[in-house]
Amino acid sequence: MTTIKDIAKKANVSTGTVDRVIHNRPGVSEKTKAHVQKIIREHNFQINTIASTLALNKSYKIGVLIPEAGTENEFWSEPKKGIENAIEEIKNFKISATFFMFNQFDSSSYQDAFLNLIEGNFDAVLIAPVFHKETEKLINQLDKKQIPYVFINTEIKGFNALSFIGQDSYKSGYLAAKLMSVMVPNNAQILIPVFRLNKGNYSSINNRITGFKTFFKEKYASVKIKDLAIPYFKSIDAINSSLNDVLKDDIIDGIFVPSSSSFLIAEYLENSQLNNIRLVGYDTNKKNIEFLKNDTIDFLICQNPYNQGYKGIKLLSDYLVMNKTPKPIYPSPMTVVTKENVDSI
């Protein structure tokens, strides 16, 4: 049986060079590549990629760029758990991960973490590209180094990502509107509060809002939708003030929160005893579930964040170890969660 070492010896190159040729990775001249490929064909060589990786004592490093989970919202703790569990499962293949965490509401924090990741010279990268402009500015540095990357949670088209794992944000917003439509009258007024300092730079949020508005434009044009920017999401007084300003002048029938921060609005509604306003949001974090169970939140759309992190690492490990190219998109399910089914999700 011909081995990688046999091929390397006949070609008068290192086993590492043969490995790069087999897996079509950079770092080998065209002349050497052609020479090695000729010898491989002559010996009808077929490689067991997993065995060869272990035999070569090869290791891989994956850089992970995701937001840090906060006490206000633990959403990002779930992808992190998924990543850690996936790494534990594949540790025998000598794959490790290094986290680069950032504040999801601070674009400069994202940019700094991204720059630190780029300097790490990783074999592959898993990214939650929360900030569109900063991603557009920095992603070409990974492309230049020929470092493969996978996007999770937020899809940004037009880049060279191997794959995207997450929901179709537009369709999920459309679904949220369909849920809202069964609870409010045809002439309803709906509020969309956004907890962002610069909401124009958040692709997922914007796509959800677009999908939501499109549904009502197509189905119930008489419904009025009002946008509300709340920049100081950590200040309860700022949230209350912003909502008070709207509700003193308008009769609001429903509120759509296009993020995992529904609990902040739900708390206001409970304290103000506004039990007749319908509320739809995202994600089954602990605080959201609390308000879902007491009927302040009517529906939550879950996007399975754990699986996004877990599958992202598995796709990259398969690509690195087995040269297996993933599908362009792995859509996350749009699970509608209610008070009645939340304990079984």
Q: What is the pLDDT of residues 145-187, one digit of tens each?
A: 999 999 999 998 899 999 999 999 999 999 999 999 999 999 9
User: Is residue 269 domain-shared with residue 246, that is, in the same domain?
Assistant: yes
With vertex at residue 222, the alpha carbon angle to CA 216 and CA 224, rounded to the nearest 5 degrees, is 70
Report phi then psi at 101, rounded to 5: -95, 150
User: Is residue 10 domain-shared with residue 106, that is, in the same domain?
Assistant: no
pLDDT band at 248 (very low <50, low <70, confident <90, very high): confident
Domain that holds residue 10: 4-55
pLDDT band at 127 (very low <50, low <70, confident <90, very high): very high
Q: What is the pLDDT of residues 285-305, one digit of tens each?
A: 999 999 999 999 999 999 999
* Domains identified in the chain, total number: 3
Lowest mean pLDDT segment, chosen from 28-37, 70-79, 316-325? 70-79
- Sign, Cα dihedral of 15, 18, 20, 22: negative
- Give domain status of residue 156, yes or no: yes
Q: What is the pLDDT of residues 268-284, one digit of tens each?
A: 999 999 999 999 999 99
pLDDT of residue 111: 96
Query: Could you tell me the CATH number of the domain that includes residue 124?
Result: 3.40.50.2300
User: Is residue 42 domain-shared with residue 157, that is, in the same domain?
Assistant: no
- Give domain status of residue 337, yes or no: no
User: Is residue 47 domain-shared with residue 73, that is, in the same domain?
Assistant: no
| C-alpha–C-alpha distance, residues 61 and 26, integer Å | 17
Give the residue-averaged pLDDT of 128-147. Answer: 93
The model carries a pTM of: 0.80
pLDDT band at 265 (very low <50, low <70, confident <90, very high): very high
- Give domain status of residue 32, yes or no: yes
pLDDT of residue 74: 78
Give the residue-averaged pLDDT of 36-57. Answer: 69
| C-alpha–C-alpha distance, residues 211 and 203, integer Å | 12
- Give domain status of residue 134, yes or no: yes
User: Is residue 291 domain-shared with residue 316, that is, in the same domain?
Assistant: no
Give the residue-averaged pLDDT of 133-151. Answer: 94
- Give domain status of residue 104, yes or no: yes
- Give domain status of residue 20, yes or no: yes
pLDDT of residue 310: 97
Give the count of beta carbons closer than 10 Å to the beta carbon of residue 5: 14
pLDDT of residue 45: 66
Higher pLDDT, 171 or 241: 171
